[in-house]
Chain A
Amino acid sequence: DTGVSQNPRHKITKRGQNVTFRCDPISEHNRLYWYRQTLGQGPEFLTYFQNEAQLEKSRLLSDRFSAERPKGSFSTLEIQRTEQGDSAMYLCASLRGTGGYTFGSGTRLTVV
């Protein structure tokens, strides 16, 4: 069990560029979540996968955001045409059963 891994740790991009983040969950965990956290706030739910199926997507997730989890393993979160308001920490978490989340270290996105 190597925990939840997220890459990259930091990403600086120019406004209008596309970015992609990756999350590798704990292998036995069938549920995977993406959250967004801005400074001084709690994490906000973005989307949820059970195995490879994306079962829920927050209204926070505009059409510029897309997430995938091919074969129910790792997941990617892509943001197209980034805006300054997208600057945040993007957290991935995995879960099995009714316990608490195991979080990754997050990807900090800065849009300049």
Chain B
Amino acid sequence: AQTVTQSQPEMSVQEAETVTLSCTYDTSESDYYLFWYKQPPSRQMILVIRQEAYKQQNATENRFSVNFQKAAKSFSLKISDSQLGDAAMYFCAYRSAGGFKTIFGAGTRLFVKA
């Protein structure tokens, strides 16, 4: 069975600085998708970034980028120029290309200091 592990329950970053959130996953499949979702306090979860496993190029969305290491089964999220609005729970998630459900990690709570 596939698993997703986020080893950092909490992280903090100074406003305007850069922070990296870690994620590892376990799967025997070669074709899959990886995601980072953001869940602000008392607000709905939104998709931050998506990576297709067959693409070697790391995905980027404005200030958010990933470091995808397929052989190491690692998928970290880098947030540059951190803003107060980035404070939230961040969930790493996995979905098999042929599968129907997404598996989530336990999350990392990010605090942003002014």
Contact = CB atoms under 8 A, between A and B. Distances in A.
Contacts of A100: 35, 37, 47, 50
Interface residues of A, number: 22
A49 B110 CA distance: 33
A105 B35 contact: no
B47 A101 contact: yes
B58 to A, nearest CB: 17
Interface extent on B, as a size class?
Answer: 20 to 34
A98 B47 contact: no
A98 B37 CA distance: 15
Interface in B66-114: 91, 93, 97, 100-107
Given A99-B50, A105-B43, A105-B44, A56 B100 contact: yes
Nearest to A98: B33
Main secondary structure of the interface of B (DSSP, over half): strand
Nearest to A106: B44
A25 interface: no
B46 interface: yes
Contact of B102 (A41, A45, A56): A45
Nearest to B4: A42
Interface of B: 4, 33, 35, 37, 43-47, 50, 52, 91, 93, 97, 100-107
Interface of A: 31, 33, 40-45, 48, 50, 55-56, 91, 98-106
By Cβ-Cβ distance, the 7 closest A-B pairs, closest first, are A42-B104, A100-B47, A103-B45, A105-B44, A45-B101, A43-B104, A100-B35
9 contacts: A40-B107, A42-B93, A42-B104, A42-B105, A43-B45, A43-B91, A100-B35, A105-B44, A106-B44
